[in-house]
Structure 1
Amino acid sequence: MTYTVNCSILLTELPLLERPAAAKAAGFDAVEFWWPFSTSVPLDHEVDAFIAAIRDAGVQLTGLNFNAGDMPNGDRGLVSWPARGKEFRDNLAVVVGIGRELGTKGFNALYGNRIDGVDPAAQDAVAIENLAAAAEAVAAIGGTVLVEPVSGAERYPLRTAVQALDVIDHVRTSTGTRNLALLADFYHLAVNGDDVPQVIEEHAASFGHIQIADAPGRGAPGTGSLPIDAWIARSQELGYSGYIGLEYKAPIETAFAWAAEAVAAAR
């Protein structure tokens, strides 16, 4: 199994730039991050330090989010936020620059919450334009824009795989852009009530990325009741060959105990 550690939700007891090395020390060769800066266009030395932390750790940066706003305070993306369209567009060049330096191919564009006083149709129109622009930007480095259903944010309009796939299809048909794909986070889909086995049967071969956490609780695999191993195995049987993103909450002391136990059992 090829796992990639999401260092924005795991290893958070450490400073951000120390987390890639900690993931490597735990036995992993790949990491992914939400947007690791406070602004869409960080200072050059901030970007350089982030790139150096990845390289010095000897890990691959497999995925990176576009700036999604103030996540701790409830923002869930800028893609469909008309008033912040320029901020999203300004972010594209920085994301592409990091991706080019580190060989990153997956770029998660969180759709954004519904905004009070703004017509949802207007938001959706902005989203189509921004997703197409993002896809065009990352195409220059062989990248794919990922569209993700999310749980825990009532005003976030993409909650099921079908809703995200409808957005992807709309971008493709209206702009001709092809390099967009579903980010299938099994935790988000499950807690939103989606039929995860059906999603896998119908779409696994075209998943852009898989992320996992158990439910309830968004903990490590084995802490809840989701059949994560079976879902991953079936996705791979149907053609998914990418990384499995570890995007769950766990203290650093026990964050990867389940993986060590699985390796021991296999022996």
Structure 2
Amino acid sequence: MGFADQRFNVNLSILFTELPLLERPAAAAAAGFTAVELWWPWVGSPAPERSELDALRKAIENAGVRLTGLNFYAGQLPGPDRGALSIPGEESERFRANIDVAADFAESLGCKALNALYGNRVEGVAPAEQDALALENLVLAARAASRIGAILLIEALNKPESPLYPLVSAPAAMGIVDTVNQASGLGNARFLMDLYHLSMNGEDLPSVIEQYASQTGHVQIADNPGRGAPGTGALPLQNLLDQLRKAGYEGWVGLEYKPGDGPSTEAFGWLPQEARAAH
């Protein structure tokens, strides 16, 4: 087995960011990829103008790539924000305003995976209060995902870079997956296994894969240290992806790494051209 046995997509919110948003799908296609994913690209607007949504949809369609993953509104990414849905007040209201907008946009492009990031812990608000709000909003998100035939992804980040984010281990994220599935009754919540974040937390990645591959809805990769392309750090990513395949995971692997000092087109040398198109 090897990289050619995987289905890769490119995260256009961290790669090709040297280009305007509407030019990135075509750039990914020119680099040989047939699928892309996105963080919510309108940082200040959970419900942008229809013309903006239509322009991005057209750019993706015209490029001939598939949208295979989309984040719900999560504030400023990358940056100090790590999500919105568990933050009382304006941020959670923005998340709610975004739920159907994001789901409808995903549906229009056949996207079947929506990622909902928890919010940071807030000083002066009890964690239990934030968790109750989070569950309420995650159930709403699960219903919206179910409406379009999609899964809801729950992601663990890493404590060194996101010290106020409460889900900084695979078991913590899986606990929320199980709680949401129980509360919604829909069973469509899944684990987003980001191997970079989990490695930054010092987790035993082979053990995580063994335990949670069957409940994983999406995988993202970057090397560690540095969050660069595979081969720039020390993670045995090919071996880990091979293990995932052997464990039964057949979904997408999102390339969510920093391109380095050069243009994004130079950040894919590790991946043979023939392995970039979904098969």
Which one of the candidate residues 24, 29, 35 is aligned to 2:34?
29
Query: Would the aligned equivalents of 2:31 and 2:265 in 1 still touch at CA under 8 Å?
Result: no
One-letter amino acid matched to 2:57: I
> 2:157 is matched with which residue?
150
Distance in structure 1 (CA, Å) of the matches to 2:183 and 2:87: 19
Could you tell me how far 1:253 is from its partner in structure 2? 4.2
TM-aligned CA deviation for residue 175 of structure 1: 3.4
In the TM superposition, what is the alpha-carbon distance from 1:70 to its structure 2 partner? Answer: 2.0
1:91 to 2:98 alignment: yes
Task: State the match for 1:12 in structure 2.
Answer: 17
Q: 1:87-142 CA distances to partner (integer Å, 9 max, x unpaired)?
A: 11110111111111100011110111001111100000001111110000111111
Query: Which is worse superposed, 53-62 or 66-75?
Result: 66-75
For 2:50, the equivalent position in structure 1 comes to 44
- 1:1-267 aligned at under 5 Å gives the runs 1-38=6-43, 39-83=45-89, 84-151=91-158, 152-250=161-259, 251=262, 252-260=264-272
Residues 161-185 of structure 1: per-residue CA shift (max 9 Å, x gap): 1000111111222332311000000
TM-score, normalization by structure 2:
0.91
- Give distance in 2, aligned partners of 1:172 and 1:258: 38
**Identity within the alignment, %:** 50
Give the TM-score taking structure 1 as reference length.
0.95
Structure 1 pair 160/244, CA: closer, same or farther in 2 (3 Å)? same
Q: CA RMSD in A?
A: 1.3
> How many Å separate the matches in 1 of 2:183 and 2:153?
18
1:133 and 1:9 map into 2 onto residues whose CA distance is 28
Q: Structure 1's 81 and 222: CA in aligned 2 closer, same or farther, altered over 3 A?
A: same
SS of the residue aligned with 1:245? strand
- Give 5+ residue unaligned stretches, structure 1: none
Instruction: Give unmatched runs, 5+ long, in structure 2.
Output: 1-5
Q: Aligned pairs, how many?
A: 263
- What amino acid does structure 2 have at the position aligned with 1:43? E
Kept in 1: contact 2:139–2:183 (CA 8 A): no
Say which structure, 1 or 2, has more relative contact order (CA 8 Å, 6+ apart): 2
On the 8 A contact 1:187/1:215 being kept in 2, the answer is yes
1:206/1:240 contact within 8 Å kept: no
**Cross-structure match for 2:3:** none
Deviations for 1:8-60, whole angstroms, at most 9, x for unmatched residues?
Answer: 00011111111110000000000000001131010110000010110000000
Shift of 1:203: 1.2
